[in-house]
Chain A
Amino acid sequence: MSFISLSFLLFLGILIILYYALPHKWQWVILLIASYVFYLFAGVKYLAFILFTTITTFLAIRFIDGRNKLQKEQLEKRKEMMSKEAKKAYKKQIKAQNRLVMIICIVLNFGILFFCKACLVEPLHTAFSSNATFSFLTIGLPMGMSFYMFQSIGYLIDVYRGKAEALTNPFKMALFTAFFPQLVQGPISQFNELKDTLFSEHAFDRRQLAFGMQRMLWGFFKKLVIADRIAVAIGTLKGAEYTGISFFVLTVFYAVQIYGDFTGGIDIAIGAAETLGIKLPENFIRPFFSKNIAEYWRRWHITLNEWMKRYIFYPITVSQPMLKLSLKTRSKLGKVGMRIPVYIGSLLTWLATGVWHGFNLHFIVWGLLNCFVIVVSEELAPLYKKFHDKFAFSNKRGYDVWQIIRMFLLMNLIRATDLFNDVGEYFTKLGSLAYQFNFNVLWDGTMMNLGLSVSDYIILGCGVVLMFLVSLFGRSGSVREKMEKWNIVLRYAVIIALLLVVVLFGSYGIGFDASKFIYNQF
C-alpha cells in the first residue's frame, strides 16, 4: 500500500478510530494487525521475508538473554567457589556463544538482503527471468526490507552489547519490526527510543492528531506538488545531449526532487505515527542549511547514518587490529598515522552505504566521493581555522551563506551519480561543466522542452520558496507550535489552502496513486 493512495488514507482513518475507541490495552495488538494488513498490500509473497527476520532475530535475542541470565545465576551461586580468573573465563565463554549466535543471525538476514539485491542486477536478473526454474528469484526486493532488517539487527546488537532489554513477547518483536509507517522508507528506529512510545497506551489527544495530520499534509505537498512534478524534467535532462549548464540544472532539479520525495515521505511516516500518539525519530534537520559535507550527513537520513556509525564505523575503527595498526602507524607517521583507522573505517562505512543503495558501480562511486570529500575536509580543518582566524570576513553572516551554497552545489554534483547507471556517462557530463558554458539553455527554450509548462515552473518556484521559508521559520522551533499561536482563522486558512494546493496541483498518476518513493527501492 502506497502512502500516496486513497486506500492508505482510508486504512489510517479506520485504524485511528479502532485504536482510540477499543480498550487502550489492545493498542499495540491493533497496531501489529494493522502493520501486517499494510504489509499484505505489498504482496503475500513478501510476508515470508519479514517473518523470517522477526523470528530469527527474536530467537537470537532470547538465546542471548537466556545465556546472560544463566551466567548471572551461576556467578551468584558459585561466587565463593570461583576465582576471579575462572569468572572471567566463564564470562568470556558465554560472550563467545552469544557472539556466534548474533553473527549467524546477522549473516542469515543480510545474506538474504544481499541475495535479493544481487538478483536485481544484470545479468543475473535477465538470466533468472528467462529460466522457468529460477524465475521465482526475480520477485524483487520486498518492501522496506533494508529498513526493517537494519532496525531488527541494530536491536539484536544492542541486546548483545547489554544496551537494550530483551523482549520476551514475540508479538511485540513482530510489531517493533513491522510497525507500518517505517516500512516504506524508514526512519530506522533504535529499540530504546521506540519501545516506550510503541508499546504504551495512548489516550486520544486532539492536538496530537491535528499535528500528525498537518505533518502528513506537508509531506503530501512536498511529494506530490514538488517531487513528482519535477521528476518529468529530470527524466528528460538525463539524456546524453544535455551537458554543461543543462547538467548543472539537472543536479539542482534532482536536489529538489529527492528532498521533496524523501523528506516528504518521512513527514508522512512521522505524521501517521503521531496521529497514533507514537513518536518516531527525525530523519532530517534542514540538511540544505549545512555548511560542510560532514554536517550535511549529520542532518540528512540521520537514522541510517547513525546506524552505520554505531554498527559499522565504530566497531571497525576501535577494533583491536585497528588500534594495533594505529599504534604502529603513529610511531612512523606521527599524528597522521593515528588517523589511519579513521580513514579505513570511513572508507568501509561509505562502501557499505553505497552497496546498501544498490549493487551498481555508480552507488559505490557515490560512496567513495562522499568519503573522499569528508576525509579531505577533516584533514584541512586546521587550515580552515587559520583562514577564519586571519580573515575577519569569514566570520560574518555572508560567509555562512556562501558556505551553505558551496555545500549545496558540491553535494548536488556528488548526488547526481545516482542518476546514471553508466559511471562513464556521469563523469563525461561532470567534465563538461569545466568547458561547456552554454548558459543560453536557460533562455533559448531548452527549459521549455523538458516536459514542464510555464505553470509547472511557477508552481515549482513557489513550492521551493515555500519549503525554504518553512525551513527558515523552523530553525527557531516547531512550525506547528508557532502556528498554534496564530489567530484560528488564519491558521485554518493556511491549512485549507495547503490542502487545496495538494488536491489541485499534486501530480497524480492513474487512479490517484502517485509514483513510488525513491527510497522505497532500497
Chain B
Amino acid sequence: MSAKASLSFGELIRGTRNVAARELGAYFDSPIAYVYVIAFAVLANAIFMNDFFLAGRVEMRGYFDRMPLLFAVFLPAVTMRLWAEERKQRTIELLLTLPILPLQAILGKYLASIGLLTLFLLTSLPIVIMLATLGTPDYGLIVSGYMGVMGLGAVFLALGMFLSSLSGDQIIAFVTTTVLSFVLVLTGDDRVVAVVDGLAPALAAGTFLRESISVMPHFEAFVAGTVELSALVYFAGMSAVFLWLNSIVLERNRG
C-alpha cells in the first residue's frame, strides 16, 4: 500500500463512518444505550401523555417543550464518555495514531452521538401515530418541532463532546455539560431574564444573554412552526464552534 500524505474525499468519509460505527457500537456493547433510550422514552412520553389528557389538543407542543430540560440531563450522559473514556483507557493514542485526521475522529464520534439522539426521538413515533389516529394534527408543526429538537440536541452534544475532551473523568464531563446546558436553556427563561436584568437594569445583561447565547429563542421559533435561517445558523454555528474547540484540545494533547 502506498503511503500518501493526504486523504481523498472518499477516504475522509470512509474514515469518519468507521469511527462513527465503532462509537455507535460501543454504546450498545454495554447496557448503557438501552438504559438511556428506555429511560428517556418512558419519561418523555409519560410527561407528554399527562399534559395531553389535561389539554386535550391534537398537537406535539407539550412533548417538544419538555425537551430542553430533558436533553440537559440525558445528553451529557451520552457525551461524557466520548473522549474521557478514551483518555482513561489510553485508547486515544491508539485512535489518533491511526491514519485518520482528528477531524474524522471528532466527526465520527459526533455522528454516533447524533445517531443515539435520533434513536431517542424515534421513541416518540407512537405519539405521532396516536395523534394521527385521534384527529388531524398539523404535520408541518410536527416536522419543524422535530427540526428544532434536533438542532437543540446537536448543540448540546457538541458542547458535551468538547467538555469530555477536557477531562479524563466522565463524572466531571457529565456535571460540567449539564450545568452549561442548563445555562443555555435558563438564560432564555423570561423569569431568569427578568431577575438578571433587575440586578443591573442599565446593562440589561439578562436580555443580552437571551439574545446572544441562549438556545431557547431559536428552539421556540421551530416549535412554533417557524423555520428561521438565523436559528439554523445558530444551531450550526454553535455546534461548529464546540467541535472546533474540541479539535484544539486534541491538538494540544500532542504537546
Is B one of A's binding partners?
Answer: no
